[in-house]
Structure 1
Amino acid sequence: MPNKLLIIEDNSSIAKVQKHIALKLGFEVDLAYSLGEAIALIEENDYFCAVVDYVLPDANDGEAIPFTIGAEIPTIVMTGKLDNQTRDTVLRYPIVDYITKEIRQSYNYLETQLRRLPKNQAVRILIVDDSPATRKHLSNLLQRHKYKVALACDGLEALEQLNIYPDIKVVICDNEMPNMDGITLTAKIRQTYSNEELAVIGISSSKDNQISAKFLKSGANDYISKPFYPEEFYCRLSQNIEMLDAIATIRLQANSDYLTNLPNRRYFFEQTQLNIEKNVQAQHSTILAMIDIDFFKAINDNYGHDAGDEVLKGLADHFRLHFSEHLIARLGGEEFAVYFKQSTSAEASQQLEAFRMSVELNSPSFSSKKIPFTLSIGLADSNETNVDAILKIADQYLYQAKSDGRNRLITA
């Protein structure tokens, strides 16, 4: 169900632009052209957030802001006023942000904020500060933007929180703390997490000009001096999270097959080789399967390549359904592979055989042209130390499955 957004704006042209932005981002939108209309809507609906005009026909001095805040609706204020008095009035309230209407970039910024807010619900941020008042203040700032929050009073507790919450994406840490200061904590964090996996933002009220450099040289992504304006805090935080998201997207694109979104050949080889090395140390064998669609060329020839792509995507979804706990990949064309984590050869054989039978039964539902197809599978259970060598063994069994009539599993 889409999130609901309330727009309170008396200028119909501006409201139309705001609504267009929100609809493009997937929001369900209600429009109010006055505070009175907004009150009626709020009484009947639950809103994810609101975009509020500062000046309305029945609320000339920002009276709509405390009303939406009082209704516990995260509020973005848009105003045509630029004077310091208006700014100070707006910032007295715990708003998400305020944006001026005068320039086109303002609407790009509004789109950025509305796109970010739903995503923030999946982002956990760790606040590390020995001051309860500072922890509470930062927690309130973060919760306005719908972030999840974890708290620690020093560096030692922060390391414990990182173990408890593996989804922490940003650590905001003060430097002056007992037991372990922020700079030492940053260096400890970097022993486990790269700055592409987790961002660290150092904060300090120290007048020592070297503190920021020490933080950054210890591995921090950013630094803010206390006291700071909430606007600066939010901007720096958003920039760091956007950087992490961009890196994650690049990694996903580099490691994923463009058609099926399964891991690609390169990622499969890298990750499987790492697991093989662990297996060798533990004196365990490696279990790996090669899987091929029977007569796939005939599918493309008879039904067209678009239909063939549908078959591949449908099969990929079926792989995810059956092998979610293992590493699956499309190696290329109609060829797939599965690396079995913590399974015996018998368990892998049983799972593959069930998968083969399920594909034979359900494959017509994978494509709009209801194309039936089957799979041939080769399963290797080997003590070889190289992924290429084990794949060759699985490929030999796959070739035997093809030679023996297809639609079957062959293993040692």
Structure 2
Amino acid sequence: MVLRALIIEDTPTIAKVQKHIAISVGYAVDIAATLEEAKALIKQHSYYCAVVDFILPDAPNGEAIPVTIKADIPTIVMTGNIDESTRTTVERYPIIDYITKEHKQAYHYLKKQLQRLPKNKQISILIVEDSISARHYIKTLLVRQKYRVYEANDGEHALQVLAENPEISVIITDFEMPKLNGAELCVEVRRKHNDEDIAIIGISSSEQAQLSARFIKSGANDYLRKPFNNEEFYCRLSQNVDMLENIATIRRQANTDYRTDLPNRRYFFEEAKKQLRVDEKAQNTVCLAMLDIDHFKSINDNHGHDAGDAVLKGFSAALTKFFPNDLIARMGGEEFAIKFTKNDKAEAQKQLTLFIQYIEKNSRSFSEYAIPFTVSAGLTDEINHNLDTLLKHADVHLYQAKESGRNRLVS
């Protein structure tokens, strides 16, 4: 569903720029040059957010702001300047942010805010605060920007909530709390989660000069002193969320095969070895398969490398569809691997056989080139927890499948 944004701005050139920014990040946009026009549009449409000019011909003192707020529209205020009188008026309302139209950077910041707002719904934040009123206030700030919020009333409770909700990626914690204080909580969190996975922001009303350093040395990423300015709170939070997303992007690029979007060989080795340690502890039998697209070189030779790439992508999509709960990867060229989660030989054989049949029957439909192809597979199952040995044994079975006619499974 396309999200809709309302721009309330009486200067046509500025409205045009704002509209371009909003459209570029995926919004449908309506523009109102006056408060009356805005009221009429609000009656007609449901808006995901609004960008509101502070001064309008029929609303010279920020009167448009309470209109969008009352309509439950997350609101970003843009102003020509931000003197104390204007700031006091703006901060009276529960807006997302306010931006001054001072320079080009203001519009870059607006774009960033419009991009972030829909993404915030996927970000889970844990507030750790023993004061109910302080916890409620921080929650209000977060909900305003559409974050998902969890709460804990002390450090021990926070560890329990974190264990039950592994999707939490940001912790905002007070210092003075019973059972575990904020710094001690940081130490406990860092025993299991590094700062590339979870960002921690410490907060405190204490006047101790060294408290910020204590928080950061205990594992926090940032620190804010209470009472904090809402604008600074949002900026610090946004920076930490951006940091986590940038790290996740770098990891994804490092661990993903660029041609097929499957996990790559490096990722497969890292994750498979983790799984094998668990299997070894439980003395599980391990099921691992190697697969190879038959006659792939002739596809490239006869149809070109673009066609070969299309075959790889189509095959990879089918592999993901058939083995959604297993560890799969492109190992290189036309060779792929599967480390089965269940380690059930009969089930693995059944899945692989069905997959081979599916490829033979449907491969023409995988790309615009309509190239038919088949796949061979080798499966090993054994109480062996050395990855290199498992891959070697599966590869031997794959070679036997190739030698005995291809388009088949040997196990």
TM bucket, shorter chain: over 0.9
Which residue of structure 2 lines up, in the alignment, with residue 178 of structure 1? Answer: 178
Which residue of structure 2 lines up, in the alignment, with residue 356 of structure 1? Answer: 356
Which residue of structure 2 lines up, in the alignment, with residue 58 of structure 1? Answer: 58
* Aligned mates of 2:62, 2:108 — CA distance in 1: 23
The yes-or-no answer on 1:105 pairing with 2:105 is yes
Residue by residue over 1:168-193, the C-alpha shift from the partner in whole angstroms, topping out at 9 and shown as x without a partner, is: 11110001111221111111111111
Which residue of structure 2 lines up, in the alignment, with residue 77 of structure 1? Answer: 77
1:351-390, aligned counterparts within 5 Å? 351-390=351-390
Which residue of structure 1 lines up, in the alignment, with residue 326 of structure 2? Answer: 326
* Structure 1, unaligned runs of 5 or more: none
* Aligned mates of 1:102, 1:181 — CA distance in 2: 42
1:38-187, aligned counterparts within 5 Å? 38-187=38-187
The yes-or-no answer on 1:256 pairing with 2:256 is yes
Secondary structure at the counterpart of residue 192 of structure 2: coil
Residue by residue over 1:56-84, the C-alpha shift from the partner in whole angstroms, topping out at 9 and shown as x without a partner, is: 11111111100000000000001112311
* Aligned mates of 1:47, 1:319 — CA distance in 2: 40
1:178-327, aligned counterparts within 5 Å? 178-327=178-327
Shift of 1:383: 2.6
Shift of 1:270: 1.4
Kindly provide the amino acid, as one letter, of the partner of residue 208 in structure 1: Q
Which 4+ stretches in 1 moved above 6 angstroms?
none
Residue by residue over 1:263-295, the C-alpha shift from the partner in whole angstroms, topping out at 9 and shown as x without a partner, is: 000110111122222212211121110001011
Shift of 1:384: 2.8
Residue by residue over 1:103-140, the C-alpha shift from the partner in whole angstroms, topping out at 9 and shown as x without a partner, is: 01000000111111111000011111111110111001
Kindly provide the amino acid, as one letter, of the partner of residue 19 in structure 1: K
Computed over aligned residues only, the root mean square deviation of the Cα atoms, in angstroms, reads 0.9
Secondary structure at the counterpart of residue 380 of structure 1: strand
* TM-score (structure 2 length as normaliser): 0.98
* Aligned mates of 2:136, 2:116 — CA distance in 1: 23
* Aligned mates of 2:177, 2:11 — CA distance in 1: 50
Kindly provide the amino acid, as one letter, of the partner of residue 260 in structure 2: T
* TM-score (structure 1 length as normaliser): 0.98
Secondary structure at the counterpart of residue 377 of structure 1: strand
* Aligned mates of 1:304, 1:37 — CA distance in 2: 57
Which residue of structure 2 lines up, in the alignment, with residue 401 of structure 1? Answer: 401
Shift of 1:212: 1.2
Q: How many residues align?
A: 411
* Aligned mates of 2:220, 2:26 — CA distance in 1: 35
* Aligned mates of 1:158, 1:108 — CA distance in 2: 36
Contact 2:285–2:343 under 8 Å retained in 1 = no
* Aligned mates of 1:381, 1:402 — CA distance in 2: 19
Contact 2:76–2:98 under 8 Å retained in 1 = yes
* Aligned mates of 1:113, 1:404 — CA distance in 2: 59
Kindly provide the amino acid, as one letter, of the partner of residue 198 in structure 1: I
* Aligned mates of 1:37, 1:364 — CA distance in 2: 55
Shift of 1:404: 0.7
Percent identity, aligned pairs only, is: 57
Residue by residue over 1:330-375, the C-alpha shift from the partner in whole angstroms, topping out at 9 and shown as x without a partner, is: 0011111100012311110001111111111111111101111110
Kindly provide the amino acid, as one letter, of the partner of residue 363 in structure 2: S
* Aligned mates of 2:379, 2:219 — CA distance in 1: 45
* Aligned mates of 1:277, 1:127 — CA distance in 2: 34
Secondary structure at the counterpart of residue 121 of structure 1: helix
* Aligned mates of 2:301, 2:81 — CA distance in 1: 65
Contact 2:284–2:343 under 8 Å retained in 1 = no
Kindly provide the amino acid, as one letter, of the partner of residue 334 in structure 1: E
